Amino acid sequence: MCVPDRALVRVQDLTPEKADQLIWLRARIHTSRAKGKQCFLVLRQQQFNVQALVAVGDCASKQMVKFAANITKESIVDVEALVRKVEQKIESCSQQDVELHIERIFVISQAEPRLPLQLDDAVRPDGEGEEEGRATVNQDTKLDNRVIDLRTTTSQAIFRLQSGVCQLFRDTLTKKGFVEIQTPKIISAASEGGANVFTVSYFKTSAYLAQSPQLYKQMCICADFDKVFCVGPGKKSSHHVLPPCAAFTLVRSLRCFQTEIQTVNKQFPSEPFKFLEPTLRLEYTEAVAMLREAGVEMGDEDDLSTPNEKLLGRLVKEKYDTDFYVLDKYPLAVRPFYTMPDPNNPKYSNSYDMFMRGEEILSGAQRIHNAQLLTERAIHHQIDLEKIKAYIDSFRYGAPPHGGGGIGLERVCMLYLGLHNVRQTSMFPRDPKRLTP
């Protein structure tokens, strides 16, 4: 490794306690402004930045000031500098109480002079500064240049929150005795069918991409792992699944990420996320009644369309003042074949969805643990039994009653933050038209 033989200080640690110390720092040139015999730089590390100054004098020649002024934005530099307390707070930087007086500067990695997008434009709220002719950056340009777009304070906050959420979920489950498992990504048969089945060439044959780890999670339950979870790509290629019992803890704990939430809100303002404790639980029949009262025509066993889910979200918010609730006891007819029927009413099932701001984040259920009932339900759903043989066979040698579900990490982050496009919470999103970067 090309590690310099000097201790590098972090920008976030540049506080008045470091005043009058000579330090080394590795950071990006965020902005640069030459002014006579001086050059003002803003040096950035992730969401932190500090003002720095190269001025003609004892430590810097005219040439050095010129050299510094010519370093392209986004380049990475090493600087040796004196930390100086400032009298007036520097409002535009995260480190407001100090500035750096640069004595030496080295370019570690030079950025090309024309950036495909400007970071300041990429974090500008829609509409702001339009009159002054300031630009914003459209979503496709951002995604085409994702590596630069991810450097903005908004992106840094989103993905640090996402990493934190993931960790929080895992810790919650591990403490409850869950075992983390790794499920196969390539399977022999597209057991759940559906439209978006991805075929994979596999040595001399062909196979399918696993759309969901669910069947394997259940097989692990049959294999005595008792409580299992996995984190990985979910139903859609941009989903990640986390188990449901962690969802309640999650919603409570998301409040810890205030800094990240506020950073994202600066660019994308949203209403604060509200929820009740204990969590509101509605039954499907109640939801249907609420929708009918609002003028929706639907049968008792009809599924909820996305617009109706959103309408229901608004009705629930009005009535109960919560952005988070569980909708329980879905009609059996609208759920997958492995869903346990309600023993008290065969038209319904022991299944539920969880909603955030009117959109589904989690789908869960008690699963059928009896091979014969499972076979009957699969036949009823016209599923090719041969394709799910290994799955059904798992229940033949003693299977404990169990339930579970999958939660979309990216959707949770999107909805909690009040964003409107899951690509914003997917680091390198994929859709039918996008396969790069």
Tell which positions 353-412 bind its own copies, by CB under 8 A: 366, 369-370, 390-391, 393-401, 403, 409-410
Determine the size of the site formed for its own copies (CB under 8 A): 96
Supply the minimum distance, in Å, between the C-beta of residue 370 and its own copies: 7
Q: Are 152 and 120 in contact (CB under 8 A)?
A: no
Q: What's the N-to-C CA distance of the chain in angstroms?
A: 27
**Which residues inside 283-322 make contact with its own copies, applying CB under 8 A?**
none
Of positions 18, 26, 357, 411, contacts its own copies by CB under 8 A: 26
Of positions 31, 38, 46, 141, contacts its own copies by CB under 8 A: 46
CA–CA separation, 14 and 96 (whole Å): 9
Stretch that binds its own copies, among 14-22, 147-155, 322-330, 416-424 (CB under 8 A): 147-155
Regarding 350 and contact with its own copies (CB under 8 A), the answer is yes
Q: Among residues 45 and 136, whose Cβ is nearest to its own copies?
A: 45
Phi-psi region of 277 (alpha: psi -120 to 50; beta: other; left: phi over 0): beta
Residue with tokens 């540049």: 14
**Which residues inside 191-230 make contact with its own copies, applying CB under 8 A?**
198-205, 207, 209, 216, 219-220, 222-226
CA–CA separation, 26 and 13 (whole Å): 13
**Coil, strand or helix: which one is 345?**
strand
Binding mask 149-168 for its own copies (x = CB under 8 A): xxx---xx--xx-xx--xx-
Supply the minimum distance, in Å, between the C-beta of residue 243 and its own copies: 14
Give, for 214, the enclosing helix (H) or strand (E): helix 214-222
Q: Are 82 and 101 in contact (CB under 8 A)?
A: yes
Q: Are 76 and 91 in contact (CB under 8 A)?
A: no
Q: Among residues 242 and 312, whose Cβ is nearest to its own copies?
A: 242
Stretch that binds its own copies, among 21-29, 124-132, 308-316, 321-329 (CB under 8 A): 21-29
Q: Amino acid letter at 386?
A: E
Stretch that binds its own copies, among 92-100, 182-190, 261-269, 294-302 (CB under 8 A): 182-190
Give me the torsion for CA of 436, 235, 407, 144, rounded to 10°. 10
**Which residues inside 52-91 make contact with its own copies, applying CB under 8 A?**
72, 74-76
Supply the minimum distance, in Å, between the C-beta of residue 305 and its own copies: 24
Give, for 52, the enclosing helix (H) or strand (E): strand 48-55
Regarding 343 and contact with its own copies (CB under 8 A), the answer is yes
Stretch that binds its own copies, among 51-59, 179-187, 276-284, 287-295 (CB under 8 A): 179-187
Give, for 164, the enclosing helix (H) or strand (E): helix 153-175
**Which residues inside 248-287 make contact with its own copies, applying CB under 8 A?**
none
Supply the minimum distance, in Å, between the C-beta of residue 284 and its own copies: 17
CA 229 to chain centre: 18
Work out whether strand 205-209 and strand 186-187 pair parallel, antiparallel, or are unpaired: antiparallel
Regarding 172 and contact with its own copies (CB under 8 A), the answer is no
**Coil, strand or helix: which one is 351?**
strand
Phi and psi torsions of 98, nearest 5°: -135, 160
Q: Among residues 233 and 310, whose Cβ is nearest to its own copies?
A: 233
**Which residues inside 105-144 make contact with its own copies, applying CB under 8 A?**
108-112, 115-116
